[in-house]
Structure 1
Amino acid sequence: MSANTVSPWSDRIGGLVILTIGLAVAAQAQSYPFGTVGKMGPGFFPVVAGFVLAFFGGLIAWKTPDSGQARDEGLKNLRPAVFIFAGLLAWALLLRPAGLVISTVVMALLSAFAYPKPNPKRIAITVILLPIMAVALFVYGLGMPLRAFPW
């Protein structure tokens, strides 16, 4: 590799972050009864989901090829990670005070800027459909005690 090229370290770091989150979820879920496949306990899904997440995170970190991209393009790879992380962080921080709908809209708007040229039509569709699906799934479908709106 020459002095003007870098490896896609942001992909590797992202994979390691996903791996770490997956392992943390699986470790935290160990405190719940696991159950069996036929009669799943409350810890079954988080443990399995955590290990699947860790597996894919490890796969991303391990299988990321060295691409030899120019140095000035290396920082462009951080844009998706920064905006996706900002969207998830905003969602987590706004969920209780602002409700599921508003926090999901903010997450979708922030995450949309992960693309270099955001598509307004795609953003509008996502901002409308994602909160509707979230409320339908989590509030009505699963009966989770989440407020849709702050009022």
Structure 2
Amino acid sequence: MTINSEMLAAVLFIVFGIVAVFLGSAYGFDSLSQPGAGAVPVLAGVALFLLGIAQFLNAIRAARGGEILPAAFASGEFRPLLLILLAIFAFAVMVVPLGLVPALAALTFIAWFAQKGGRRWEIAGAMVTTIVLMVAIFKYGLGLPLRLFGAGF
């Protein structure tokens, strides 16, 4: 049986539901009459998990019934997916030690190659625009204590 888009979405619901229950339980559920801080994440996680199970069973039933479901990924879609995930990971790893500007530059640079047909010179414009907007919004607009560059700057 091949993994189709319905099954993949169901697995994502199940995984996110389990993660929400796990993380929410660390905040304390308490009781239903006086719920704690972890009650909403735990209940939302359980709901996601149950919806994921229902969707997975529905996808299996549809596949066995001969219904044609779209494939989860075409062979050419893995490169953009991996590049976007790599860009997000690079940002997360770089933002604290190197600062916001280098992390945004790396994010934009890596994510740029996920698209097809983009001109190389456009990356500079996208990078400058992203950096200026994100610094304006998060550093100055919201006043978040983010360093723009690494230590000493």
Cα distance in 1 for partners of 2:94, 2:113 equals 19
**Matches for 1:6-17 after TM superposition, within 5 Å:** 13=8, 17=12
Q: State the partner residue of 2:103.
A: 103
Cα pair 1:8 1:74 within 8 Å, conserved: no
Cα distance in 2 for partners of 1:74, 1:80 equals 11
4+ residue segments displaced more than 3 Å = 6-9, 11-32, 65-68
Q: How far did residue 82 of structure 1 move?
A: 0.2
Structure 1 residue runs of 5 or longer lacking an equivalent are 1-5, 33-46
Cα pair 1:7 1:66 within 8 Å, conserved: no
Q: State the partner residue of 2:127.
A: 127
Q: Aligned AA for 2:131?
A: P
TM-score, normalised to structure 1's length?
0.57
C-alpha distance 132-16 of structure 1, shift in aligned 2 (>3 A)? farther
TM-score, normalised to structure 2's length?
0.57
Q: Aligned AA for 2:97?
A: P
Q: Aligned AA for 2:77?
A: N
Q: State the partner residue of 1:77.
A: 77
Q: Aligned AA for 2:107?
A: M
- Kindly, what percent of the aligned residue pairs are identical? 23
Q: Aligned AA for 2:108?
A: A
Higher Rg of the two aligned structures? 2
Q: How far did residue 21 of structure 1 move?
A: 5.2
Cα distance in 2 for partners of 1:30, 1:91 equals 28
Q: How far did residue 29 of structure 1 move?
A: 7.0
Cα distance in 2 for partners of 1:127, 1:99 equals 15
C-alpha distance 27-128 of structure 1, shift in aligned 2 (>3 A)? farther
Q: State the partner residue of 1:145.
A: 145
**Matches for 1:39-118 after TM superposition, within 5 Å:** 66-67=69-70, 74-118=74-118
Q: Aligned AA for 2:138?
A: F
Deviation per CA, 1:100-119: give whole Å up to 9, x if none: 01101101111111113332
| Paired positions, count | 127
C-alpha distance 140-15 of structure 1, shift in aligned 2 (>3 A)? farther
C-alpha distance 85-66 of structure 1, shift in aligned 2 (>3 A)? same
